[in-house]
Chains A and B, each alone.
Chain A
Amino acid sequence: MSALVASRRRTLRDRLGNPWARPRFLWVIAIVYVVWILVPVVDAVVFSFNEGRSITQWQSFSMRWYTGDPDASVLHDAALQHAVLQTLKLSLLTALVAVPLGVLFAIGLHRWRGATAKTANFVMLFSFVTPELILAVALFLLFVHAFEVIGLGTGAELIGLVVLSLAYPVVIVRARLLSLGPSYEEAANDLGASPLETLRRVTLPMLAPSVFASAAIVFALALDDFVIVNQLSRDASTQTVSIAIYGAARTAPTPAINAIGTLMLATSTVVIGAAVIAYRRLERARGPAAAPVP
C-alpha cells in the first residue's frame, strides 16, 4: 500500500516538472462538470425517499411515496400508474416498430445506389436533425386536420415517437455495415447462398450487437420523450410519465413525482445495462472479425 502511495507521489512530482503532464485544471473542470450534471439526479432520487411532503426540506427516510401513502404514493395513485404503463407501452412499441424499419432501411441503403436512394437517405437524416418542436407541431396538425382517422392519442404518440427515433437504428446499423465490409456477403454468395440465406445466416447475425444497441437507445429515447407525446396525447388517459412530471413540477410537486422518476431511471438503467452486456457478449462471441464500430 505504502509502495503504491510512494510511486503515486513520484509520478506526481514527475508530472509537476513536466509541461506535458495532465493539466490539473482540466481535471477540476471534468469533476465539476460531472458533479453539476449529476447533482440534480442524486437530489431527485434522494427526495423520493423523504418522509415529508417537501422536495426541499429533508425529514427522514421512508417509503411513503412509493408504497406507504394511501392516496398519493405510486402504489396507490391510479393516474401515476396509468402514466407508467402508458410510457412503458409506448417505449416498447416504438422499439418494436422503429428498429425493424430502421435496420431494413440501413441494409437496403447500404447497397441501393442512385438518386432515389440518395433522396431517401437525405430525408432520413433530415428527420434526425429537425428540431423536435417543429416535428411535434407538424404531426399535431397532421393528426388534427388530415389524418382524423388516427387522431390524437396513443396511435399518434406511437407514430411520432417512431419518426423521432427511426434514424438511430439506421445510423448505428449503417456504421456497422460499413465496418464489416462486403467480403462476408461475397464469401457467402461464392459458397452458393441465396440472397435471403445470406441475409438470414450471415448479415443479420453479424448485425445483432448493433441491433440490440439501437433497440436500447430507441427504448430509452421514447421513455424520456416529452415534446412529441405532450403535443400528441389526447387527454389524461394517454399522458406519459414525462407529462405527469411536467404538470406536477409546474404546480405542487410531492416526492411521489420523484419516486416515479426514480422508477423510470431504474428502468432505463436496467435496459441500457442489459444492452451493454448483451452487446459485449455478442461481440466476444463473434470474435475479432466483428470489431466495434469505429
Chain B
Amino acid sequence: MSSGASSARGRSWYPRWYWPSFAAPATLFLLLFFVYPFYVVLCVAFGGVTEILREPAPAWNPASWNPGILGFTLSNITHTDGLYHTAFLRTFAYVGLATLACLLIGYPFAYFLARHAGRWRGLFVALFFAPFWISYMLRMLAWISLLQDDGLVNTTLQRVGILQTPYPWLAGKPITLIIGLTYGYVPYMVLPLFATLDRIHPSLLEAGRDLGASPGRTFWRVTFPESRQGILAGLVICALPMFGDYFTQQLLANTKGTRMIGNAVVDSLTIPIFVPRGAALILVLLVLLIGPIIYYLWSTQRAAAQVGVAA
C-alpha cells in the first residue's frame, strides 16, 4: 500500500517522537477520564460499605477485592424472584422489539434515500438529520403532549374511527415505551444502512436486471445480501444506547411495571448504600454488551480498510 511506503519515507523526515506527540494529549485524557473510571467502577463494585455511615468504601487494591456485592447482584439477576430479574428480561424484550421496529422502519427509508429520492434527496437528507440536532428531551416533551387523552394522537385516531374512547398511552404502557424507544433511536439505524446501500454499485443492480431478474428478485438476491453489513451495524448501534436508556421510561411510562436496567442503575446511585450495587450492575451490563461493541468496532475497521483500498 502507498501509505506504508510514504510512512517509511516519513521516518527519515520527521523525528520519531513527532507524530506520537500529537496524539499524546488526547491519549492521556482518555487514560485519565475514560480508562481509569472503569477501574474505579471495579473498585466500587468489589468494595464494601463503611460501618456507620453506610457509604460505599471502594477497595483500591485488587488484592482486597471482595466479590460479595457482585455475587449478590448476579444472583438477583438470575433468580426468578430476584430484585433485578424482571428488569433485565423486560429490558431485553423492549430493546429487542424496538430495535426490530427500527430496522423495519429504517430499512425502507434508508433504501428510499439511497435509491429513489432522486432530486428530492437533498431535502430528505436534511429532514432526516434534523432530529440529530433537535433536543431529545424537547421531542419527548412533545410526545407527552401529543399522547394525552385530548392530545393529537387520540383525537386523530378517534376521528378516523380506529378508537372509540381515548387510549391511556401515558398510563405506564409498555407499547408506549417501545414506540418511544423506536422513535428516539431509529435515526441511528438509518445512518449505517444509508451508508451501505448508497455504496452498492449500480452496475451490480444492472447486472441483475440484465440477467432477467425482476425488481423484487434483484432486491432479495443483490441489494439485501450486499447490505447485510449495514444491517448488523445498525442493529448494534441502535441497541447499545437503548440498553442504557432510563429517561424514556421515566417520561413516557413511569410505572414499576416498565422499569428497565437503566432505571435500576440510576436509582441505586442516589442511595449511598446501594452505590456498589449500581457499579456491579454497570459491570454486568458492560460484560453483556462487550461482544456487540467489539463486533461493531471490528466491522467498521474492516469497512474503513475496504474504502481505503478502493480509494
Contacts and interface: CB of A to CB of B under 8 A. Distances in A.
A105 B25 CA distance: 8
Nearest to B292: A129
Interface stretch (A61-69, A71-79, A253-261): A253-261
Nearest to A174: B304
A30 B117 contact: yes
B40 A129 contact: no
> 3 closest Cβ contacts across the A-B interface?
A133-B244, A108-B22, A108-B23
B98 interface: no
A193 to B, nearest CB: 10
Given A20-B215, A55-B145, A186-B6, A29 B108 contact: yes
Interface string B299-310: 011000001100
| Category for how many chain B residues contact A | 35 or more
Contacts of A249: 137, 140-141, 144, 251
B208 to A, nearest CB: 11
A34 B25 CA distance: 41
Contacts of A135: 34, 37
A111 B26 contact: no
Contacts of B21: 108
Given A47-B145, A126-B297, A246-B247, 5 more contacts: A30-B113, A37-B183, A120-B30, A170-B26, A249-B140
11 contacts: A34-B128, A41-B131, A43-B146, A43-B152, A125-B297, A133-B243, A139-B37, A141-B37, A181-B2, A249-B141, A253-B144
Interface of B is mostly: helix
Contacts of A137: 41, 265, 269, 278-279, 282
B27 interface: yes
Contacts of B24: 108
A39 interface: yes
Interface stretch (A2-10, A158-166, A205-213, A277-285): A158-166
B282 A138 contact: yes
Interface stretch (B11-19, B71-79, B222-230): B11-19
Contacts, number: 283
A241 interface: yes
A279 B139 CA distance: 28
A105 B23 contact: yes
A60 interface: no
B124 interface: yes
A108 B21 CA distance: 7
B262 interface: yes
A227 B263 CA distance: 12
A38 interface: yes
A104 interface: yes
A123 B141 contact: no
A133 B187 CA distance: 19
A113 B7 contact: yes
A145 B134 contact: no
Nearest to B179: A36
Contact of A123 (B34, B146, B152): B34
B188 to A, nearest CB: 11
Interface string B130-161: 11111111111111111010111000000000
A262 B41 CA distance: 38
A25 B27 CA distance: 49
B283 to A, nearest CB: 9
Nearest to A183: B6
A128 to B, nearest CB: 9
Contacts of A246: 137, 247, 250-251
Interface string A24-63: 0011011001101111110110010000000111000000
B246 interface: yes
A105 B6 contact: no
Contact of B138 (A30, A101, A265): A265
Contacts of B136: 224, 226, 242
Contacts of A22: 116, 118
Contacts of A38: 127, 130-131
A99 B227 CA distance: 33
A12 to B, nearest CB: 13
Interface string A175-208: 0001101100010010000010000000000000
Contacts of B176: none
